[in-house]
Amino acid sequence: MNPASRESSPSVSGALLPLLVFGLAFTAAYAFAMSFTSAAAAPLWFPDSILLCALLLNRPRRWPLYLLAPLPIRLLVAVAPGTPLWFLLATYANDTVKALLAAVLLRLALKNPRRLNGVQDLSQFVAAAVFFAPGLSALAGAATRAGLGSPFWPSWRQWFLGDALANLVLTPAILSWFFAGDWWRRVGMRRLAEGAVLALGLVGAGWLAFDGHLQTPYDLLVLFYAPVPFLLWAALRFGLRGASGALCVITSFAIEAAEHHRGPYFGQHPELSILSLQLFLMVIGLSVLFLAVMVEERDRNARSLHDAERRYREILDSQTDLVCRYLPDTTLTFVNGAYCRYFGRSREQLVGHRFLELLPESARAAKRREIAELAANPRLEVVEHRVERPDGSEAWQQWINDAVIGPDGRVVELQGIGRDITDRKRAEEAREMLALASRLALVGEITASIAHEINQPLGAILFNAEAAEMGLAAGSLDPGELRRILEDIRKDDLRASEVIRRVRSLLRARSLEMQEVDVNRLAADVVDMVGADASRRGVTLRTELDPEPAVVHADRIHVQQALLNLVVNGMDAMAGTEAAKRCLTVATSRNPDGAVEIAVRDVGPGLEPDVLPRLFDSFFTTKKQGMGLGLSLCRSIAEAHGGSIVAENNDGAGATFRFRIPGNGGVRGAGPRV
Ligand code: ADP
């Protein structure tokens, strides 16, 4: 055996067995239908329903097998003597096209043509397989029969009803009983017992209605409807499977009665009797099948609704947030698991009761007011308040409250989603404490900086006053010299009081007063301001200003303060430098990123490597009388402007401090606090 044939053999046997079963079923149905002798055509034409089932159950590539298989069967089995071959071939072709048409339509229309799920599926099945395909086929069939001399419309009616009824009764039954999964495994004893009672009832009712022993017109009239309650029972309790099975039972009785000329309409014209039977089965069949799928659909919807509700409840119950719904009088209509756990009560103990009673007495009036306001003015609101926990401890809760509006626009219920925010509140309080502490530290820093900044003007004033005293004592002080000294004293005094004013204003508001500041002007002013001090220290001051006006959005006084610090530090650093070399440069420039930079360059000893990491720390100083606050304040000021400050050693001697403010001017408006 070659590999290909070995591979293909399972699929051949897999395809052959169903085909064989189909052949047998088709042969039996065909033989039975052909044996029907009471009318020109069988009241139910079964074989094609079996063919339709075979097509629906198989993939289209196997359809040709199933469409061709009936041909030999139809030619060989139970052919009425004298039937012309052309008639046999024509009816075969007609029936084949009919089944094919129904199967194609159902494959196109239904998601799963093997299972009729719901009213829409059944409607499409009825339209395609019960009305359209049989109706069309009956036209061709009646035309064929006309060739044998039968009248057209009566032939059409017989042909159509036989096909339609078979598809209506048999196809759903075959599909739902034999090809709809292993449903029988899940059937419980009680259901089995109910099914058995129903089956007995159906057989009894079928026997009563169609057996034909009771022949008085009254008996017949009443008993003809005996199967109806059992059919309804089957539809309501056993769905499509039950309804189609019950229909098959009743139909078998009816056919059997018709075949043996018994039954309610015996005595009338046989054609009329068959027609009554077909119409009865058609009307009752359609009704019970639709009823069955409607019930199934309703059950399915109820189940999925129930499942969805259970799922949502599980999700809600697994939440740590408290979820509740309540009426405006605080009667709870829904609570989740977290709510029950929080109050230590079961759902039954909470739902239907007013939650106001769960709150401490002191909180009730406020809650009542809050709810009344929300009900009167529906909106989503977030409230945070202190609560007393059921164990008596104090906690904070946040509630997101909302009003549920009914179809008439009125508030039906209110909904609250609450969470414990005690931890968050505590963290906030801690942060506030920290902010206060750092504010106090800043106040300390600023207070200390007063001493730092004022020391120099005070020293200069003292120096000038002593110089004037000495001049006066020596009698060598001319009025011009005195005026110059007094002017210096006044300038230094003004500088000191300006520092105090700024520090006081910082303490008061501590927010930046942003304005357009020309950094070139500002640098020149600072250099001017420290001119006298520098000459006393023997320091040459130089400026290298950007030729373009370097305008930024900044707080003039703060930046001036920072620059002054840097300049004074630079001069301090050069105290030990050879007098001829003491030079301090203030340079301004605009960086490529648009930031304006003020660089203060000295030629002092530069920065020791171990100093660099702590340079900007508060209270870091290497000076005897230093406070170690100047550079930390500079950094605060730079950062408050969205800028930065860096320090580096020069290639030659000394260090350079670069104070940068972003080109967009850093922070706008009132700005952050320094
Ligand atoms: P203080 O001037 O009170 O010491 P600062 O914060 O202004 O406080 O400076 C901190 C320290 O940084 C100084 O003590 C000094 O060691 C160092 N420093 C500041 N500027 C310079 C500089 N231009 N050259 C060398 N060291 C400097």
pLDDT per residue over 133-153, tens digit each? 999 999 999 998 888 788 999
Give yes or no for residue 417 having a pLDDT over 90.
yes
Look up tokens 């089944």; give the residue. 99
In which band, very low, low, confident or very high, does the pLDDT at 636 lie, cut at 50, 70 and 90? confident
Distance CA 437, CA 427 (A): 15
Q: What is the pLDDT of residue 216?
A: 65
Atom of ligand 1 nearest to the CA of 633: 6
**Model confidence, pTM:** 0.56
Indicate whether 119 pLDDT > 90: yes
- Give the pLDDT confidence score for residue 666 in this predicted structure: 43
**pLDDT at residue 361 tops 60:** yes
Strand order across the beta sheet in which 540-544 lies: 540-544, 583-590, 596-601, 655-661, 644-649
With H, G, I as helix, E, B as strand and everything else as coil, classify residue 478.
coil
Listed in sequence order, the residues at least 6 apart from 596 whose beta carbon sits closer than 8 Å to its beta carbon are 519, 546, 550, 552, 588, 589, 590, 660, 661, 663
Q: How many helices (H) and strands (E) does the chain have?
A: 21, 12
Confidence at residue 13, expressed as pLDDT on a 0 to 100 scale: 60
CA proximity to 543, closest of 630, 601, 456: 601
Element housing 398 (H / E): strand 394-405
CA of 486: how far to CAs of 458, 460, 468, 490, 528, in Å?
14, 11, 9, 6, 17
- DSSP character at residue 669: T
Residue 609: which residues within 8 A CB-CB, separation 6 or more? none
Return the pLDDT at 8. Answer: 42
Q: Average of pLDDT values for 452-467?
A: 85
Atom of ligand 1 at shortest distance to CA of 452?
A: 3
Distance CA 438, CA 450 (A): 18
Q: Residue 300 pLDDT more than 90?
A: yes
Using 50, 70 and 90 to split pLDDT, how confident is the model at 236? very high
Chain centroid to Cα 374, Å, comes to 28
Across 64-73, 472-481, 522-531, the highest mean pLDDT is recorded for 64-73
Ligand 1 pocket, Cβ-based, cut-off 6 angstroms: 452, 565, 569-570, 573, 602, 604, 607, 611, 615, 620-623, 626-632, 655
Per-residue pLDDT at 670 exceeds 50: no
Q: Tell me which of 161 and 674 has the higher pLDDT.
A: 161
d(CA 393, CA 399): 19
Please state the length of the chain. 674
List all residues 6 or more positions away from 328 whose beta carbon is below 8 Å from its beta carbon: 371, 372, 375, 411, 414
46-99 tens-digit pLDDT:
899 999 999 999 999 999 999 999 999 888 875 667 778 888 898 899 999 999
pLDDT for residue 9 is more than 50: no
Site to probe by mutation for ligand 1, drawn from 566, 631, 648, 659 as the one with most ligand atoms within 8 Å of Cβ, is 631
More confident residue, 512 or 538: 538
Judge contact between 435 and 429, C-beta under 8 A: no
Top-confidence residue, 416 or 280 = 416
Residue 341 · residue 438 · CB < 8 Å: no
User: Would you say 554 and 517 are in contact if contact means Cβ atoms under 8 Å apart?
Assistant: yes
Q: Which two tokens stand for residue 277?
A: 């039977």
**What's the 3-state SS for 208-255?**
HHHCCCCCCHHHHHHHCCCHHHHHHHHHHHHHHHHHHHHHHHHHHHHH
Ligand 1 pocket test, pick from 445, 571, 621, 657 with the greatest ligand atom count within 8 Å of Cβ, gives 621
Q: Average of pLDDT values for 101-117? A: 92
Q: Would you state the pLDDT for residue 665?
A: 46
**Residue 451 pLDDT exceeds 80:** no
**pLDDT reading at 436 higher than 60:** no
Cα 103 off chain centre by: 41
Category of 82 on φ-ψ map: left (φ > 0), alpha (ψ -120 to 50) or beta: left
Q: Residue 265 and residue 275: Cα distance in Å, rounded? A: 10
Task: pLDDT band for 432, please (50, 70, 90 cuts).
Answer: low
Residue 625: alpha-carbon gap to chain centroid? 65
Higher pLDDT pick, 245 / 432 = 245
Specify the pLDDT at position 413: 93
Residues 361-378, mean pLDDT to the nearest whole number: 85
pLDDT tens, 580-594?
999 999 999 998 888
State whether residue 418 is helix, strand or coil: strand
Which ligand 1 atom sits closest to the C-alpha of 626? 3
Ligand 1: residue of 456, 569, 603 to mutate (most ligand atoms within 8 A of CB) is 569
Q: How confident is the model at residue 35 (pLDDT cuts 50, 70, 90)?
A: confident
Cα 58 to ligand 1 centre (Å):
93
